Amino acid sequence: MKTIKDRVAKMSFLGLLLALVTTSFYAPSAMAHGEKSQAAFMRMRTIIWYDLDWSTDSVAVNEQVNIDGKFHVFAGWPETVALPDIAFLNIGIPGPVFIRSESYIGGRIVPRSVSLKLGSDYEFSVVLTARRPGDWHVHTMMNVKGGGPVIGPGKWVNVTGSMSQFKNPITTLTGKTVDIETFNEGTIWAWHGLWFAVGLAWMAYFCKSPVFLPRWIMAHSGRRAELITDTDKKVTMAFMAGTVVLVMFSYGSANSAYPITIPLQGGVLRDIPALPDQRGNVHVKVNGATYRVPGRAMSMDLTIHNGSDTAVQLCEFQAGAIRFLDSAVCEDETLYPENVLAPDGLSSSDNSAIAPDETKTITVTAQDASWEIERMSDIIYDPDSRFGAIIWFNGEDGSRQSAILNEPLIPVFM
């Protein structure tokens, strides 16, 4: 019997050790923020992020990263998602590894929620200050009340240095400069510690005499009154009086230390200025669109009318965060994340320049494995089978024009 027990103990110990070792050596970090899990129609037909620019992909602690760009609030916003009447420009990072020092929409700082208009384009900017070293996936993100987070493209940013070097000073309107990272911590620990000690002392007084068995016997034999003595009542009164005095003292001392305070600030910013029309004069009509599941390709039959005064050429098709480029016409010159960039993903039956006032019908194909990798091909399972996208044209004069597409999509399974 003893031998069996010893073996069980030994095997259990080895098992525990093995579990500890394997979990210690295998500790993967979170690689993304669930953007692939988000329904494809939400990524295509709610907030469309474009012209994004990350100022850098490597910073030291206390240095800043700027994310600038624009977003279009899709006019064909899906019925299943609440309208963006109240939305918040957030940032998708794994906790406060950066602090959000500033964020702007339309040039206005937006620490609060905003109201967005369907069909409008907005310029935004987020300034992050590095706080914790590591490789972090940084996403643009818009939270929509009732709709949830609409996450944009994410880019890896490397932070070097030590978190202990991080400082976050700010000067109040009363002239005090404090480090938000550590401000008030001593006071919090001290008062919590003091009240914890008072509570323990209160309990310790009653625990000095027997707590359970003798008291239960007396309480259930009609001798409850004997269990609380006059001394107990006097001690109780002393503790109560002491509590009230200590609370009054703490309240008074806080008012002396901080005579000027304000309530917490909140509310919705409803007058955020949208950008002027960003589309231009190229008009696109979708005659039909299919998504070929085995080929991971979306094909569109488009009639394009160039109403501008310069010749234009089809350059880019953007669905959700994925950008499909025609490499013969344009290439990405920003630090756009590679996983959602298909540099040769766009082809067309005829991509010659479209002259001013010319109308042309062509077949355009956006094909890349990223449809599958980014789980955008799941659009065929959506309850409202439509696609939303921006299609971009480069003008001969260097201009850039675009059109919004919002049409039904037919899957092809063979």
Partner 1 sequence: MSSTQSAVRSHAEAVQVSRTIDYLGLFILFFVILGGFHVHAMLTMGDWDFWSDWKDRRLWVTVTPIMLVTFPAAVQAIVWEHFRIGFGATLCCIALVLGEWINRYFNFWGWTYFPINIVFPAILTPGAILLDGVLILTNSYLATAVFGATAFALVFYPCNWVIIAGLHMPVEYHGILMSIADISGYHYVRTGTPEYIRMIEKGTLRTFGKDVAPVSAFFSAFVCILIYFIWHFIGRWYGTTKFLQQT
Question: Does residue 221 contact residue 213 with C-beta atoms inside 8 Å?
Answer: no
222 touches partner 1 (CB under 8 A): no
338 touches partner 1 (CB under 8 A): no
178 touches partner 1 (CB under 8 A): yes
Closer to partner 1 by Cβ: residue 191 or 281: 191
List helix spans (H) across 123-184.
Answer: none
Phi, psi of 110 (to 5 degrees): -130, 70
Question: Shortest Cβ distance from residue 16 to partner 1 (Å)?
Answer: 22
Question: Does residue 91 contact residue 140 with C-beta atoms inside 8 Å?
Answer: yes
Helix (H) or strand (E) holding 365: strand 359-367
Count of CA atoms in the C-beta half-sphere (13 A) of 50: 27
Binding segment (CB under 8 A) for partner 1, from list 248-256, 302-310, 348-356, 393-401: 248-256
Closer to partner 1 by Cβ: residue 198 or 373: 198
Among 4, 264, 276, 294, which residue sits at the site for partner 1 (rule: CB under 8 A)? Answer: 264
Closer to partner 1 by Cβ: residue 138 or 366: 138
172 touches partner 1 (CB under 8 A): yes
Among 32, 82, 198, 293, which residue sits at the site for partner 1 (rule: CB under 8 A)? Answer: 198
Question: Does residue 110 contact residue 272 with C-beta atoms inside 8 Å?
Answer: yes
Question: Shortest Cβ distance from residue 259 to partner 1 (Å)?
Answer: 10
Question: Does residue 52 contact residue 68 with C-beta atoms inside 8 Å?
Answer: yes
Question: Shortest Cβ distance from residue 325 to partner 1 (Å)?
Answer: 30
229 touches partner 1 (CB under 8 A): no
232 touches partner 1 (CB under 8 A): yes
Among 195, 329, 363, 400, which residue sits at the site for partner 1 (rule: CB under 8 A)? Answer: 195
Instruction: Select from 60, 94, 265, 68 the least CA-distant residue to 167.
Output: 60
Residues in 87-146 at the binding interface with partner 1, rule: CB under 8 A: 87-88, 90-102, 109, 111-113, 131-132, 141, 143, 145
Question: Shortest Cβ distance from residue 195 to partner 1 (Å)?
Answer: 4
* Residue 183: exposure state from Cβ atoms within 10 A (0-12, 13-18, ≥19): middle
Residue position matching structure tokens 């919705």: 268
Question: Does residue 81 contact residue 412 with C-beta atoms inside 8 Å?
Answer: no
Token pair belonging to 362: 């062509």
Among 80, 182, 359, 361, which residue sits at the site for partner 1 (rule: CB under 8 A)? Answer: 182
Closer to partner 1 by Cβ: residue 141 or 346: 141
Distance CA 179, CA 186 (A): 13
The size of the chain, in residues, is 414
Distance CA 96, CA 93 (A): 7
273 touches partner 1 (CB under 8 A): no
Total residues contacting partner 1 by CB under 8 A comes to: 95
Binding segment (CB under 8 A) for partner 1, from list 21-29, 216-224, 323-331, 377-385: 216-224
Question: One-letter amino acid identity for 317?
Answer: F
Binding segment (CB under 8 A) for partner 1, from list 2-10, 71-79, 247-255, 324-332: 247-255
Residue 121, beta-bridge partner list: 72
Among 263, 276, 294, 398, which residue sits at the site for partner 1 (rule: CB under 8 A)? Answer: 263
Binding segment (CB under 8 A) for partner 1, from list 44-52, 228-236, 355-363, 371-379: 228-236
Among 219, 328, 410, 412, which residue sits at the site for partner 1 (rule: CB under 8 A)? Answer: 219
Binding segment (CB under 8 A) for partner 1, from list 243-251, 283-291, 317-325, 342-350: 243-251
Among 228, 355, 369, 410, which residue sits at the site for partner 1 (rule: CB under 8 A)? Answer: 228
Question: Shortest Cβ distance from residue 146 to partner 1 (Å)?
Answer: 10
Q: How far is CA 384 from the centre of its chain?
A: 25
250 touches partner 1 (CB under 8 A): yes
The DSSP symbol for 354 reads B
- Quick note: the x/- pattern for partner 1 over 16-55, rule CB under 8 A, is -----------------x----------------------
Phi, psi of 301 (to 5 degrees): -95, 110
Closer to partner 1 by Cβ: residue 254 or 355: 254
In sequence order, what E strands does 293-385 have? 297-306, 312-319, 322-325, 341-342, 346-348, 359-367
Phi, psi of 353 (to 5 degrees): -65, 145
Spell out the SS3 assignment of 221-247.
Answer: CCCHHHHCCHHHHHHHHHHHHHHHHHH
Helix (H) or strand (E) holding 18: helix 2-25
